[in-house]
Amino acid sequence: MANLLDIIQWCNIQLKTNEFKDYAPNGLQIEGRTEVKKILCAVTASQTAIEAAILQKADLLLVHHGYFWKGEAYPITGMRGKRIKSLIKNDISLVAYHLPLDAHPTLGNNVAISDRLELQDIEALDPTERHPIGNIGYLNPPQSPEQFQRYLTDRLGFQAIHLPAAKTEIKKVGFCTGGAQDYISKAAAQDCDAYISGEVSERTFYEAAELNVHYYACGHHATERYGVQRLAQALAAQFELEVIYHELNNPI
């Protein structure tokens, strides 16, 4: 058992949340019971994830995608109102970490992807960033574009979408999980052979060809499964908590 605010303080320090300019508040978004014994983690704070937390009698729901995004309407009504009402009614805290969890060098989504793909010599996709959101790694040995598509599909459990370029060999790989398809221009600036993210836009097809960078869309959800699990496991070790991961099976 641990105190809720001790958990939040530990996470905020580890993830250096005060050093990020983000699109939503990081940390405690909805306050539930003071004492925490069980955490359920999921990628997104959907109604399904909330119902799983209620069913599992979790005290805290830990997610990558929480609420209160910039540009959202202020009234807590409709779908979001139902979600928040369910959390408050069951005294479950909602804790969300977005960019700090993408960028963390051991717990983050990007480092988890590099580990799963066994990429080597990791460096920043954008060297000007204090805490790089994207990274570059190297394949050893190099692969053909077709081999790499199959490799990604196998390692990430998602049917990778390949938008081709002219290069016949892939060694230097840029990557940033989630909806970072527009960072393909940063990958091109760093002379990457390929770039990986989660989602894909219509324009990306042309950008891949014209920038000569193979693009692989590997699922927003699929590429961001790992950060919350790593953070939850770290909390389990630090505070002796029970943690459960709830797979939402989002195909996007």
Residues annotated in a binding site: 64-65, 102, 220, 224
CB 64 within 8 A of CB 11: no
Q: Which residues are CB-contacts of 47 (< 8 A; sequence separation ≥ 6)?
A: 79, 82, 83, 86
DSSP label of 57: T
Q: Which residues are CB-contacts of 199 (< 8 A; sequence separation ≥ 6)?
A: 178, 179, 181, 217, 219, 220, 252
- C-alpha 189/C-alpha 239 separation (Å) is 43
Q: What is the sign, positive or negative, of the torsion defined by CA atoms of 103, 109, 110, 114?
A: positive
Q: Which residues are CB-contacts of 26 (< 8 A; sequence separation ≥ 6)?
A: 12, 15, 17, 20, 96, 97, 98, 99, 100
Q: What is the sign, positive or negative, of the torsion defined by CA atoms of 119, 120, 126, 130?
A: positive
CB 124 within 8 A of CB 140: no
Burial of 169 (0-12, 13-18, 19+ CB in 10 A): middle
Token look-up 């002379």 returns 191
Residues in binding site for a divalent metal cation = 64-65, 102, 220, 224
